[in-house]
Amino acid sequence: MSLYAIAVKHSTPDLPEKLGVGMFFFRKMGWKVSFTEKTINHWPHLFCKIESNQGAEFDQEELFGRILAENLAIFIMEQQASHYLSEIVEQSYFYFPRYERREILSLSVKHYESERSKEAGGQLLEEVRELLAVYLARRQYLNLHGFILFRLRTWLEFLRKNVDRAVDDFLWEKEYQEFIQLLKYFMTLQEPKIKLAHVILDEFGQARLLDEHYKPIEQCQEDVHWGVCDSVTDVENQLMSMLISVVPYRVVLHKQIYNFYPKTVETLKHIFESRVTFCRRCKLCLSESIYLTLKEK
C-alpha cells in the first residue's frame, strides 16, 4: 500500500478528480485507488492511497507518485495561479485603492493565461512536474503551499512578471483615460469652427480632413505638421491635432479609418461622442480602397 497526504491551502472541490486523472491503469490491473478529504488543523488535506495487487512486476508506488506529480503540476499552473497572483498584488501593490487592485488582478490573470498557453507543455510546466516528482519520491507528505513558496521560485517569478506587466498596462490605460477626459473637456469649451469634417486616408495611407464639400481643409495644412506616420500612435496624434485645430461640429469617419485604426476610432468616439458618424460605403471610401490596394501591391 502507498499513501500520500497533501495539504492544500487553496483547495478546490474538483481536486480529487484532478488528481485521479490517469489512474485508470491501476484500476484496470486490479489495484484500488482512493482519494479521501479531511480537514486537519484548519487545513484541507487530501489522502491519496493505492493498494497494490500482489505479484506486480514493477514499482507501482514510483509510478503512482509520478502520476500524482504530473496532475499536481497541472493543478498548480491552472487553478492555483489566481490565489498567488492575488497575494503578489496585495503585498507588492497594497498602496493602490482596493478597486484598482481588483482591476490589476484581473489583468494579471489574463496575462498569465495568455503566457501560460504559450508555455503549455514547455519548460516551466516540466520544471514544476520534475520538482514535484523528486519530492514525492522521497516523502509521502506534501504541504503544497510551502512547496510553492520555497521550491517553485521560477513559477512565482513568472507570476510576478505578469503582475508587473498588468500594473504597467493599468497605469497606461489610466493615463490614457485621463488624457481623453481632458481633450473631451477642452472640446466642449470650444466653439465649432466648421460644420463637418470627413476623416479619410489618402493614397499614401496618411490621415486627411475634408470639409462638407469634400475639399481639403486648408487650416490643417497650416496648423499641423505633416509627416510620415510610422505607427498607430502617430496616426492618432496627427488626427487629434487636426481635429482640435478645426473643432468640427460633426465628424464623419470613412471606411479605411475604422478598418485600419480601430483604436483611433474608439478614441474619437470617446471625445466627440454623438458628433461622430460612420460612412459604410461611398465613392470616397471606394477610391480610398483603390489607393491602399495599389500601395500594398
Same domain, 160 and 204: no
Alpha-carbon torsion 292, 231, 208, 178, what sign? Answer: positive
Residue 105, in any domain of the structure? yes
pLDDT of 161 reads 96
Residue 186, in any domain of the structure? no
- How many independent structural domains does the chain possess? 2
pLDDT of 2 reads 83
pLDDT of 291 reads 47
Same domain, 197 and 142: no
**CATH code at position 275:** 3.30.420
Q: What are phi and psi of 263, to 5 degrees?
A: -65, -40
Comparing C-alpha atoms, which of 221, 213, 220 is closest to residue 196?
A: 213
Q: Which of 147, 180, 213 is the last residue of a domain?
A: 180
Same domain, 20 and 119: yes
User: In the chain, at which residue ranges do the beta strands (DSSP E only) sit?
Assistant: 2-7, 32-40, 43-51, 141-143, 194-201, 207-210, 248-253, 276-278
Same domain, 13 and 159: yes
pLDDT of 55 reads 56
Same domain, 121 and 160: yes
pLDDT of 149 reads 96
| CB-based contacts of 60, cutoff 8 Å, min separation 6 | 2, 26, 31, 50, 52
Contact 246, 194 (CB under 8 A): yes
Q: Which of 159, 180, 201 is the last residue of a domain?
A: 180
Q: Which of 180, 200, 231 is the last residue of a domain?
A: 180
Centre a 10 Å sphere on the Cβ of residue 41 and count the other Cβ atoms it contains.
6
Residue 185, in any domain of the structure? no
Same domain, 139 and 11: yes
Comparing C-alpha atoms, which of 19, 15, 9, 13 is closest to residue 49?
A: 19
pLDDT of 280 reads 73
pLDDT of 204 reads 73
pLDDT along the chain (297 residues), means of 10: 91 90 82 90 91 64 89 95 97 97 97 82 87 95 96 96 97 92 86 88 79 80 47 70 87 84 85 86 65 41
Contact 112, 164 (CB under 8 A): no
Measured distance CA(151)–CA(75) in Å, rounded: 16
Cell of 30: 486490479
Longest dimension (CA), the chain: 93
Measured distance CA(16)–CA(34) in Å, rounded: 9
pLDDT of 219 reads 62
Measured distance CA(191)–CA(194) in Å, rounded: 9
Same domain, 52 and 84: yes
Same domain, 248 and 175: no
Angle between helices 153-189 and 81-92 (to 10 degrees): 60
DSSP H or E run through 290: helix 283-296
Looking at this protein, which amino acid is placed at residue 14? D
Same domain, 168 and 203: no
pLDDT of 140 reads 93
Contact 139, 6 (CB under 8 A): no
- For residue 15, how many C-alpha atoms fall within 13 Å in the half-sphere facing its CB? 23
- Distance (Å) of CA 89 to CA 75, 114, 144, 229: 21, 18, 20, 38
Residue 257, in any domain of the structure? yes
Structural domain boundaries enclosing 221: 191-296
Same domain, 57 and 136: yes
Same domain, 255 and 230: yes
Same domain, 198 and 262: yes
Instruction: Output the pTM of the full model.
Output: 0.80
